[in-house]
Amino acid sequence: MKNNWSDYSYLFQNKKIDAVFSHSSFPISKLCDVKNFAKVSGFNFNNLIIPNQIHSDNVEIRNKPGLIQNCDGVFSTDISLICSIKVADCMPIYFVHKSYPIFGIVHVGWKGLSKKILSVVGSKLLDNNWPLSEFEILIGPSIQQCCFEVDENIIDKFEIDFLIKNINGKFSVSLQLSAKKELIQIGFNGENIMIDNQCSCCDKKKFYSYRRDNKNTGRMVALLGPRSKL
């Protein structure tokens, strides 16, 4: 069954927190699928925090399970809870404090980047007196520069350093490097930021992709929190 997801738990110093990411071999379309994935990957599905994502800059810190409307990032300090998001090309960005049970996951696409959702994350953490340098960050599988092409009318939303102009007049963008630079500018430690360079659009066998398959695509689920004791 582990071929149905990637386990990133080993990347984080905080061994009380586990991080996983589903593959397309584990179909996700309904809420019951998210709960089932949590169960089979070792989490307590009754403790899920599940945002209803809208490509916004809304980030919530929650210490109770359940649905959250109009939200694209969830954090918790309750070691029993599981943060979750769904993606199909957008970046799942995991945040884990090195020592304390402070953790969260954010859904970030180009719209979220342009709305400065990462700055909202930084502000919320600092408002709680949580030093940004104490967080380790993983940018999970997502559409990479090789496949993310945009028209000239939106290139002003991206750093010029992360754009490549193509012969068709369009531009290829690295969302991952754009996100990393912004995280560093906000105050996170660049040495604590990891990037999984797998492209969700290129790898048809492993990932869903909205860019590749449009509305026919499914979703991957990212989970972050403690696994259940077996």
**How confident is the model over 13-72, as pLDDT tens digits?**
999 999 999 999 998 888 999 999 999 999 999 999 999 999 999 999 999 999 999 999
Residue 194's closest CA among 5, 2, 6, 12? 12
55-83 confidence digits (pLDDT tens): 999 999 999 999 999 999 999 999 999 99
- What is the residue type of 102? I
CA–CA dist 184, 133 (Å, integer) = 10
Predicted structure pTM score: 0.95
Strands in the chain per DSSP E: 5-7, 18-22, 48-51, 59-61, 66-68, 73-76, 82-87, 91-97, 103-108, 135-139, 149-150, 163-165, 171-173, 193-195, 220-225
- State the pLDDT at residue 181: 94
- Tokens 């919530």 sit on residue: 60
- Confidence band, pLDDT 50/70/90 cuts, at residue 186: very high
Residue 220's closest CA among 202, 200, 205? 200
Asked if residue 143 has pLDDT above 80, the reply is yes
| Mean pLDDT score of the chain | 92
CA–CA dist 72, 183 (Å, integer) = 17
106-142 confidence digits (pLDDT tens): 999 999 998 999 999 999 999 999 999 999 999 999 9
Asked if residue 185 has pLDDT above 60, the reply is yes
- The arithmetic mean of pLDDT across residues 161-168, rounded, is 75
Asked if residue 230 has pLDDT above 90, the reply is no
